[in-house]
Homo-oligomer: A and B are copies of this chain.
Amino acid sequence: MGKEENYFNFSDSDNFSKHVGIEMLEITEKSARAKLNIQEHHLNGVNIVHGGALFTLADLVFGALGYVHDQKAVSVNASISYFKAVSSGTLIAEGKLVTLTPKFGSYSVQISDEEGNIVAVFQGLGYRRQQAMVQ
């Protein structure tokens, strides 16, 4: 079994992203991708996808990348900016490593719709607990 496959342990045991209905597509050392097929339960009161659903989609990708770099990594801060309201179709979140220090990792995630329009941009900062302990 390859190293990449193991990374999916991260998302396989994640109840919340399953409850939301997010599917992890890819996890590698440098990038990760996940998918959300928009359903009724993702919408807010004005029938667009809830910010919390978008955040959760991006956060799963961020978490997967953090896990790859330190299995005890924890999120310390995340920010999201929204650029396009969507109410149907499929959303893809694609994340990549920005930089890694002994204690912290910075990741950037973009959520796009089927036409490739950017729906939201997410930045996550992870604390590498395991690494920090050995220093």
Contact = CB atoms under 8 A, between A and B. Distances in A.
Interface of A: 9-20, 40-45, 49-53, 55-57, 59-60, 63, 74-85, 98-99, 101, 103-104, 106, 108, 110, 118, 121, 123, 125, 127, 132
B77 A51 contact: no
Given A82-B76, A104-B76, A123-B79, A42 B16 contact: yes
Given A45-B11, A52-B52, A108 B106 contact: no
A116 to B, nearest CB: 11
Contact of A79 (B19, B43, B49, B77): B77
A83 B128 CA distance: 13
B132 A104 contact: no
A43 B15 contact: yes
Contact of A82 (B16, B74, B83): B74
